[in-house]
């Protein structure tokens, strides 16, 4: 225990202890009354000294990861299972978000800093995505939607775009076996697929069909995606339905538009996380995050750890969601 903390606790116990002893000297003459006071003072000592210490202990456990070094989907340890019983009960009181969305920013900067090559940062970022998915599953979260490649990213240098497509193709093929083991459904959300290479389109079809029956968790990968494109696409579909007589103009509302979004069938994200310290939404899920809690992490995406997931959940519970009320 820290010397300052132990000193405060010692002084508190000394003060309360002297008060308790003086009261016992007086109350001893009254028999039962003295016993009652001793019981009360004992409880008082526990409440003032013991309870704060226990709370500090529990909160410390919640703030540090007890399961480390996850190398692949399905290989992590549920950190809650190794907490002491009191800490497990405290964690049980927390409200777990159903759906988290993440802007995985900072891969290039990480690669340039660590390896001198931005592209290598994307490889580390894909490993973090696997780990992050595991941590979400362990925490009880139902869905994760990540911004993997935006429509604006096509404007980057062709060598980097080619490397990203190759890495994405490798990722999709390697994650399928573990996804099937953990009953994870993988969906690839594309708002504009005109520039996607044929081998990527084929890989997307394969991974979605192979995991379509999975239902324990949903991982959504936004690729060649832009929120404005998504909204325009949904509006065009609705307009086509109106022209064909399938839908009436009076039937158009938020719920109908939601059913035409790429995330149809999923709850809107409870939390939107962006890494790298940037404070922007960057054309990501503009319709779906209307009431999401926004959290910005001042670290690059490959640097994210399980501690960060735990802190996000605690912060989510600290906030009061009013939904405009």
> What rounded mean pLDDT belongs to the chain?
82
Kindly state whether residues 54 and 171 are assigned to the same domain: no
Please report the pLDDT score of residue 67 as a whole number: 36
CA distance 233 to 194: 13
Task: Give residue-wise pLDDT tens across range 151-170.
Answer: 999 999 999 999 999 999 99
Q: What is the pLDDT of residue 198?
A: 97
Q: How far is CA 47 from CA 114, 138, 187, 208, in A?
A: 50, 33, 51, 55
**Amino acid 1: pLDDT:** 46
pLDDT confidence of residue 54: 58
The domain tally of the chain equals 2
Nearest to 312 by CA among 136, 148, 104, 126: 136
> Does residue 68 lie in a domain region?
no
Confidence check: pLDDT of 194 > 50:
yes
d(CA 163, CA 119): 7
Catalytic residue, chosen from 41, 105, 107, 283, is: 105
Q: Catalytic: which of 27, 78, 153, 307?
A: 153
- Please check whether residues 97 and 185 belong to one and the same domain: yes
Q: Would you say residue 70 lies in a domain?
A: no
Is the pLDDT score of 32 beyond 60? no
Domain match, 94 and 132 both: yes
pLDDT at 44: 55
Residue 32: which domain range?
3-63
pLDDT band at 325 (very low <50, low <70, confident <90, very high): confident
Q: Are residues 201 and 257 in the same domain?
A: yes
Active-site residue, 229 included:
no
Pairing mode of beta strands 217-225, 271-274: unpaired
pTM of the complete model beyond 0.85: no
Please compute the mean of the pLDDT values over residues 124-141 and round it to a whole number: 96
82-104 residues labelled b (16+ CB within 10 A) or e (exposed)? ebeeebeebbeeeeebebbbbbb
Cα–Cα distances (Å) from 76 to 93, 229, 315, in that order, read: 23, 37, 23
Domain co-membership, 36 together with 121: no
The pair phi, psi for residue 219, each rounded to 5°, is -110, 120
Output the CA angle 158-104-136, nearest 5 degrees: 140
For residues 110 and 203, state if they share a domain.
yes
Q: Is the pLDDT of residue 18 over 70?
A: no
298 included as an active-site residue: no
- What's the pLDDT at 80? 56
Q: Are residues 52 and 88 in the same domain?
A: no
């Amino acid at each position: 225990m820290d010397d300052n903390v132990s000193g405060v606790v010692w002084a508190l116990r000394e003060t309360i202890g002297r008060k308790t002893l003086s009261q016992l000297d007086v109350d001893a003459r009254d028999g039962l009354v003295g016993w009652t006071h001793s019981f009360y003072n004992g409880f008082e000592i526990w409440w003032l000294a013991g309870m704060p210490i226990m709370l500090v202990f529990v909160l410390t456990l919640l703030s540090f990861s007890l399961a480390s070094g996850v190398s692949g989907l399905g290989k992590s340890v549920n950190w809650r299972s190794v907490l002491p019983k009191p800490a497990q009960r405290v964690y049980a009181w927390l409200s777990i978000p159903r759906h988290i969305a993440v802007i995985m920013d900072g891969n290039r900067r990480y690669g340039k800093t660590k390896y001198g090559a931005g592209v290598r940062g994307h490889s580390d970022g894909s490993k973090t995505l696997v780990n992050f998915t595991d941590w979400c599953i362990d925490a009880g979260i139902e869905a994760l939607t990540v911004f993997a490649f935006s429509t604006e990213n096509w404007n980057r240098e062709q060598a980097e775009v080619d490397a990203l497509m190759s890495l994405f193709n490798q990722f999709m093929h390697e994650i399928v076996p573990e996804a099937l083991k953990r009953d994870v459904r993988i969906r690839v959300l594309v708002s504009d697929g005109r520039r996607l290479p044929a081998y990527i389109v084929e890989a997307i079809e394969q991974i979605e069909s192979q995991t379509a029956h999975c239902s324990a968790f949903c991982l959504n990968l936004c690729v060649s995606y832009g929120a404005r494109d998504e909204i325009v696409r949904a509006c065009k579909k609705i307009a086509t339905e109106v022209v064909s007589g399938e839908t009436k103009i009076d039937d158009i509302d938020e719920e109908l538009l939601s059913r035409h979004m790429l995330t149809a069938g999923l709850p809107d994200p409870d939390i939107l996380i962006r890494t790298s310290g940037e404070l922007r939404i960057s054309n990501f899920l503009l319709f779906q995050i209307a009431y999401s809690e926004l959290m910005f992490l001042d670290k690059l995406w490959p640097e994210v750890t399980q501690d960060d997931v735990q802190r996000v959940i605690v912060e989510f519970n600290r906030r009061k969601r009013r939904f405009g009320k």
